[in-house]
Amino acid sequence: MEKKLDRKLVVTGLIRLESGLLIGASNSALTIGDVNKVVVRDPITQQPYIPGSSLKGKMRSLLEILDGTVGVDGLVSNDPNERTSKIFGYAGKSKGSENQVQQPSLLVFRDCKMTDESVMKLADTELYLTEVKAENSINRITAMANPRFFERVPAGAEFSFEIIASVYDGNNKETNEAYTDAKKLLETLAQGMRLLQDDYLGMGGSRGNGQISFHDIKVSERDSNYYEKGTDEKAFATEVFQEFLK
C-alpha cells in the first residue's frame, strides 16, 4: 500500500503522579542499600524518567481490552485490521494466512523527562528525587511478615511527554482511514489517556502505585512546508483533549 505523508501532529503535555511511581530498572545495574527494586534513571543526569515504551505499551493494552481483542489465553488478536494494530503497529501473520504482515506505528512515544520544577522540589529527598516505600508480604500459613522495600518517584512529581502522530494523504483511495483521519487518531489517543488515568502505570498498581493524570495538553501541526521549507508549525484544535487542559 502506497502512503504519502500529509502532516505530523505533535501532542505535548504533563504527566502528574497522583501516587508514587515505580518503573523498575535492573538491580544488578543499580544497587541502593537494601532496596528490592529501584527506578529507571537517566545514566547521565541520574534523574528518573518514564520510558516511552511503558506509556505506549500500557495504553495499547488498555485499548485492546476495551475493544475485546484480548483472548482468554491472554494473547491479543492477530488481526492487522484491528484499530490498535493499525495505529500502534503490527508485525506478524494475519489469521488464517501464512503471509507476513507489517504495519508501522502511526504514533511515536518519546521518553518522558522530569520537569525542572520537580527536580528542584525533590532534590533533597531520601534518595535523589525518589523515596523508599516499605511493604510486607504475609505468609498465609505461618502469618510471618516478609518486609521488602521499593524505590519510587513520589506523588506530585511531573514529567513532560511528547507523542508524535503521523497522518497520511487521503487522496490515495487504498489508504486506510486510520492513516488519514487526524481526528479519529487523536480521539483514540485521548481514549487511551482516559483509560490510563483510571488504571496505573508501572509496577504495583493494585497496591497503590502508579496513579497518574494528564494536564496542559497542546497539539501542533507540522505539514510538508514545515519539513521542506522550514515554515512555522501551526496550532491544532484540541477539543478531544478538553478534559486534560486544566
Rounded to two decimals, the pTM is 0.86
Question: In sequence order, which residues have a C-beta less than 8 Å from that of residue 125 and are 6 or more positions away?
Answer: 131, 154
- The per-residue pLDDT of the chain, averaged, comes to 85
Alpha helices in the chain (DSSP H): 52-67, 83-88, 116-121, 177-180, 182-197, 224-229
**Three-state SS for 55?**
helix
Phi-psi region of 33 (alpha: psi -120 to 50; beta: other; left: phi over 0): left
Determine the Cα–Cα distance for residues 33 and 23; give it in Å rounded to an integer.
18
DSSP state of 141: T
pLDDT value for 3: 73
Over residues 116-174, the pLDDT tens digits come to 999 999 998 888 999 988 776 776 777 676 777 889 999 999 999 999 999 988 654 45
Say if residue 53's pLDDT is above 90: yes
Task: Tell which residue, 57, 40, 18, 13, has the closest CA to residue 151.
Answer: 40
Residue 180: φ, ψ to 5°: -105, -20
